[in-house]
Structure 1
């Protein structure tokens, strides 16, 4: 699928943030590193998905045109945490960070751009997880649930082009802000003992 101008704008605006996050996550070539990744992903996604669910009836995305709707991986994440006997405070410290609070269409669209994009990465990460013994029924449910969903990303890209009269600067700022929240969530879980950097 060729890059639209809006997709290109967001890709360029978030390139540095995306690269920093990818570097932090690393390749998780050990079980310990995978567990740190899982903890970071749960700290990133679960608060956002709770907020999305709370706003589902009144936020702008409730009336967006087309077939795209937010995709949740929260159940898979919770199952993975249980399977690996982890919780959000598994590294022995409480972690609290406020997720972004979208208000406008641009805010929501920027946030969803980051969440939808992470599903593309799940296709690569699921192979790494499988190599470490994490499967759909043991520790990898959230990854494998995303690998078979081929329609959500194209539907989201179509939606981005359908929505008109957007402030692209605000849209980009929202995506960068969402990456910043992700970085904080993963940073809290990754450290020198875990990271494959």
Structure 2
């Protein structure tokens, strides 16, 4: 089984290695979130609550590391507003989930920025009349490839410890989303 500890032991690009090592955690998130029916108001509310439980925590962490990250756009307020429009309580962000490490923050951001791609697909599944600002917060033209280029450069120029931190941040973020969804399913 691939683990974060094995980062640096494989040849190839840092980004390909990050994807390879975090793939199982990503697939587990996709599986647990596939149980929500976005056309059903109650299930969609639970879906958004699960996202809020993870996203608000992750973005709170990222805000503390904004000076070392490429530009990014928070979606917390969009998600909170969608929940408010549905009359669903907004969960509080959790603290101390992620260790304090700049490389960790880049891994967290990788997962959050990647989730925007899924939002494009999922927003079309939301029932008519339900709020979808959070899922509709797509990347602007060129933002995703620019972020991936930045991440690739960072990973390829970093030492093994930095690469491990980025991967650990990604895996922890996927796990945070999976656990949050599991508490709603």
| Pairwise TM-score range, normalised by the shorter structure | 0.7 to 0.9
Query: Unaligned regions of 5+ residues in structure 1, if any?
Result: 90-94, 191-197
Q: After TM superposition, which residue ranges in structure 1, 4 or more long, deviate above 4 angstroms?
A: 95-99
Could you tell me how far apart the structure 1 residues matched to 2:167 and 2:59 are? 20
**What's 1:100 paired with?**
97
C-alpha RMSD of the superposition? 2.3
When normalised by structure 1's length, the TM-score is 0.75
Instruction: Report which structure shows greater RCO (CA 8 Å, sep ≥6).
Output: 1
Query: After superposition, where does 1:109-120 map in structure 2 within 5 Å?
Result: 109-120=106-117
In the alignment, does 2:169 pair up with 1:174?
yes
8 Å CA contact 1:102, 1:108 repeated in 2? no
Q: 1:62 to 1:166 in 2, by over 3 A?
A: farther
- Per-residue deviation, residues 58-104 of structure 1 (Å, max 9, x unmatched): x3x5145xxx4122111110110111000135xxxxx8854532422
Query: After superposition, where does 1:46-61 map in structure 2 within 5 Å?
Result: 46-53=56-63, 55=64, 59=65, 61=66
- Per-residue deviation, residues 120-177 of structure 1 (Å, max 9, x unmatched): 1111111111xx115xxx421111122x523321121111123222422332222111
Could you tell me how far apart the structure 2 residues matched to 1:158 and 1:176 are? 20
Could you tell me how far apart the structure 2 residues matched to 1:84 and 1:118 are? 22
Give the counterpart of 1:142 among 134, 141, 159.
134
Query: After superposition, where does 1:116-131 map in structure 2 within 5 Å?
Result: 116-129=113-126
Query: Unaligned regions of 5+ residues in structure 2, if any?
Result: 1-11
When normalised by structure 2's length, the TM-score is 0.80
Could you tell me how far apart the structure 2 residues matched to 1:142 and 1:133 are? 15
Give the counterpart of 1:151 among 119, 142, 145.
142
